[in-house]
Amino acid sequence: MNNIIWSTGHILKFGNIVDSDNCFIYDSQGNRMVDLESGVWCTCLGHNNKRINKVISDQINKISHTGFCFIHPQIEKTARKVLDINNLQGGKCEFICSGSEAVEYGMRIARILSEKPLALTFADSYMGAYGDVAVKSADKWFIYDRLNCSCNHSGSGCLGDCEEFSRIPFDKIGIFLLEPGSSSGLVRFPDARLIKKISKKVQESGGIVMSNEITTGIGRTGKWFGYQHYNIQPDIVAMGKGIGNGYPVSVTAVSKKIADQLKHKGFHYSQSHQNDPLGAFVAAEVIDIIAEGALCDEAREKGYYLFGKLTEMQEEFPLIREVRGRGLMLAVEFTRDASRIYEALLTAGFIVALRPNTEVLRLDPALTIEKETLDLFLVALRDVLVNLAPNKPDH
């Protein structure tokens, strides 16, 4: 009997998901599907990863939870790995449960330390499901619409050379919260000149730069983190999703400077699943697997291949308006019928993300996806587009 499952606002009908292997998932009726969404961008090393499974099974037979009053030696070991890949040696980490919590935790720290009332972020950014970053009240936030300014000539948004940018009240801004490219799921990357200009202004005046790496981190964009494409060094980095490969763990990392400042502020935070050893073991194994397999490089190379093939398809099918991507985070924007394409791909056994109220399909396959699997998707997408094209090519 079929289930009705809510997914990004659409009702999909298929059997319960009961098994998986890397980028393939299997339902209770024996159907195989290719998951090009990585379980909502979480399973960066693929479903049912045997090394991650072993770490979990080994540790769960010892201790998985200590509570916030006690600590396990793995917490420090994993923290060092997280700080190293962020170039935040000497800083501090907190291991919690979700991406939204990691961002909110970082913002609490930034608010305590900031001497100015406002935080700056972009209008097209999604930061979390609750708290300060979800509400974005006018007395605490300045929201900059980087896609609607007079210097946006390249299509990548504001360059920081316009009247609109000059009206940003930097004298009142003590925090810059960057979301480097997910753009509320639409995959739009800020111009590097804009990011460097804002980061420099904020940090030189004693402010804090924080990067939300929930979707853009852990190798997704072809580097460890999305901010590394902009040659900046954040003071605070929030990580989630891929850092647990499906296990619910997230991390907030801060620089040594921030950690030292917090000592004098009496900052306190506690929740039930804070610095759990099991989550720390999983995060450490994820980092090790990516480093040992050079999977950031793999993501860059596979993403370049997929982007190129989709761009070639765009030349053949005007239905494709634009292809955007960095590493294995890509979006295909259509002139129409994205919902129909989404449903047709699902019927053919391919799971992608349909962004609500848009003509955009998003692709975030695991870093471990094989090129042959990408080719299967490309064939299926082309077949769907042939059927939708007003003048079908003669093959």
Give CA–CA dist 308/321, Å, rounded.
15
Question: How confident is the model over 79-138, as pLDDT tens digits?
Answer: 999 999 999 999 999 999 999 999 999 999 999 999 999 999 999 999 999 889 889 999
Question: Can you list the pairs that 373-380 forms with residues at least 24 positions away whose Cβ atoms lie under 8 Å?
Answer: 373/23, 373/34, 374/302, 374/305, 374/306, 374/309, 376/34, 376/350, 377/34, 377/36, 377/350, 378/306, 378/309, 378/310, 378/313, 380/345, 380/348, 380/349, 380/350
| Pick from 384, 349, 377: nearest CA to 363 | 377
Give me the half-sphere count of Cα atoms (radius 13 Å) on the Cβ side of residue 209: 20
Q: Strands across the sheet with 32-35, in order?
A: 17-21, 24-27, 32-35, 350-351
Question: Cα(175)–Cα(194) distance, rounded to whole angstroms?
Answer: 15
Whole-number pLDDT of residue 13: 56
pLDDT category at 381 given cuts 50, 70, 90 is very high
Q: How far apart are CA 136 and CA 395, in angstroms?
A: 53
The per-residue pLDDT for 10 is 40
pLDDT-based confidence at 70, cuts 50/70/90?
confident
CA distance 188 to 270: 35
φ, ψ of residue 93 to 5 degrees: the values are -130, 150
Task: Say yes or no to pLDDT of 47 above 80.
Answer: yes
| Per-residue pLDDT reduced to its tens digit, 182-237 | 999 999 999 999 999 999 999 999 999 999 999 999 999 999 999 999 999 999 99
Q: What is the pLDDT of residue 349?
A: 95
Which is higher by pLDDT, 55 or 10? 55
Percent with pLDDT over 90 in the chain? 86
144-157: average pLDDT: 87
Q: Express as a percent the part of the chain with pLDDT over 70.
A: 95
Q: What is the pLDDT of residues 294-334, one digit of tens each?
A: 999 999 999 999 999 999 999 999 999 999 999 999 999 99
CB 371, CB 302: distance < 8 Å: yes
> Which among 282, 205, 255, 257 is positioned nearest to 89, based on CA atoms?
255
CA of residue 324 relative to chain centroid, distance: 15
Mean pLDDT of 49-56: 98
Burial state string for 213-248 with b = 16 or more CB within 10 A and e = fewer than 16: bbbbbbbbbbbbbbbbbbebbbbbbbbbbbbbbbbb
Give the pLDDT confidence score for residue 6 in this predicted structure.
Answer: 43
Distance CA 256, CA 345 (A): 47
- Average pLDDT, whole number, for the chain? 93
pTM: 0.94
- Position 301 scores a pLDDT of 98
Main-chain phi, psi angles of 369, to 5 degrees:
-65, 145
Stretch 68-79: mean pLDDT: 92
Q: Is the pLDDT of residue 344 over 50?
A: yes
**What value does the mean pLDDT take over residues 351-356?**
94
In this predicted structure, the answer to whether residue 254 has a pLDDT above a threshold of 80 is yes
pLDDT at 3: 44
State the pLDDT at residue 219. Answer: 98
Q: What backbone phi and psi angles, to 5 degrees, belong to 190?
A: -60, 150
| pLDDT tens digits for range 277-295 | 999 999 999 999 999 999 9
Tell me how far apart the alpha carbons of residues 366 and 131 are, in angstroms, rounded to a whole number.
Answer: 30
**Domains in the chain, start-ordered, CATH in brackets?**
3-35+294-388 (3.90.1150.10), 52-292 (3.40.640.10)
Mean pLDDT score, 64-91: 94
Q: For residue 7, what pLDDT is reported?
A: 46
